[in-house]
Amino acid sequence: MAEVPLVSAVIPTFDNAGMVVEAVQSVLDQTWPRVEIVVVDDGSTDDTLVRLGAFGDRIRIVRQEHQGPAVARNAGIRASAGEYVGFLDSDDLWMPKKVEKSMDALRATPKAGVAYTAVRIRETDTGRTYLLPQYTTSGWMARDLFLECKGVNTSTLVVKRECLDAVDGFDEEFFRAQDWDLMVRLAEKFPYVHVPEALTERRLHERSLSVTHRDLYATYNLLVIRKALARDPELYEALKDDALARAHYRFGMLHYGDFRLKEARAEFRRSLSHRWHIGVLGYFLRTFLPVELIRRLRGFRMRAAGPKKPPGDSAHV
């Protein structure tokens, strides 16, 4: 009987002592029989190392100066030994069968290089939980992922090491969107396989990188698109306007959600310049409304949607 493959769980963390302990425990609780855990402490100044010390030799800890998640993940890959590598952000959790079902999918589809699962979002401040809308595609996904990284979250991934080696891991020039960039590059060379169960939980909170470094979001998202176009114009050129329209719409919605209406209007205008869309036009026109009216309309819509409605459906008016 063939030996059960080792799966390495790489967990980067920075000043997130409480959550990283829970993330580690979620990996220790996996049903897959061979999992190693590599935690990369990216220069934490809190008591992360003290708390992680309680796990003893059940985990490996790599320490480095604060250099960001791309550098930390690459350090974790180098320090790991598994034939497969799974990534788990220290904010997030794996359900007990995450690795087992990802490996089942990969072994049932030998040509696939990447497995990704459905993902549940948990807002720690409100307690809301909901499924993140995502692709449910298996196979060649480069064009899909170039258009938009729809619900393919880093913590959902299990990747063959040989595939990571083939694309040279994460681009360390990216402080944000390095996961999207990696996913696109992997998808250019290897098929994906989708696991439809919500085996990953992403926890959103006020200290999430997506919140604390929101100002970098647009810069690095556009860099992903530019890099892909330069790398393989034949594959992506026909999708360029659609990808940019979606990107500027996302940027606009971030500003709109924070009531920065002038900035939102500029992004919606850029989106419309690349592709006409009635929904984007609607948001563009709403940026001319008074902020207080938008607040009241949003509150009414959220109350009408009910407490269990995903914010993606109810947070914006």
Q: What's the mean pLDDT when you consider all of the chain?
A: 91
157 lies in some domain: yes
Number of structural domains found in the chain: 2
Tell me if 178 is assigned to some domain. yes
Do 197 and 127 share a structural domain? yes
pLDDT at 102 over 50: yes
Q: Each residue of 227-247: pLDDT tens digit?
A: 999 999 999 999 999 999 999
pTM over the 0.85 mark? yes
169 and 273 assigned to the same domain: no
The answer to whether residues 74 and 123 belong to one domain is: yes
Q: Is residue 145 part of a domain?
A: yes
Domain residues for the domain of 12 are 7-208
- Residue 221, in any domain of the structure: no
Nearest to 116 by CA among 77, 169, 158: 158
User: Does residue 222 sit within a domain?
Assistant: no
**Residue 94 and residue 243 in one domain:** no
128: domain CATH number is 3.90.550.10
Q: What is the pLDDT of residue 314?
A: 30
46 occurs within a structural domain: yes
Residues 204 and 238 in one domain: no
How many CB atoms lie under 10 A from the CB of residue 5?
Answer: 15
In a domain, 217, yes or no: no
Q: Are residues 118 and 193 in the same domain?
A: yes
**Looking at the structure, do residues 145 and 55 belong to the same domain, yes or no?**
yes
* Same domain for 193 and 102: yes
Same domain, 95 and 146: yes
Name the percent of the chain lying above pLDDT 90. 83
**Quick check: 168 pLDDT over 90?**
yes
On whether the CB atoms of residues 131 and 312 are closer than 8 A, the answer is no
pLDDT of residue 306: 56
Per-residue pLDDT reduced to its tens digit, 120-135: 999 988 888 999 999 9
**258-310 pLDDT tens trace:** 999 999 999 999 999 999 999 999 999 999 999 999 888 888 776 776 544 44
pLDDT interval class at 207 (50, 70, 90): low
Q: Which of 149, 173, 208 finishes a domain?
A: 208
pLDDT, residue 213, reads: 55
Of 174, 208, 242, at which residue does a domain stop? 208
Q: Which of 208, 223, 256 is the C-terminal boundary of a domain?
A: 208
Residue 224 is assigned to a structural domain of this protein: no
Taking 90 as the threshold, does the pLDDT of residue 210 lie above it? Answer: no
Together in a domain, 177 and 238: no
- Do 145 and 246 share a structural domain? no
185 and 62 inside one domain: yes
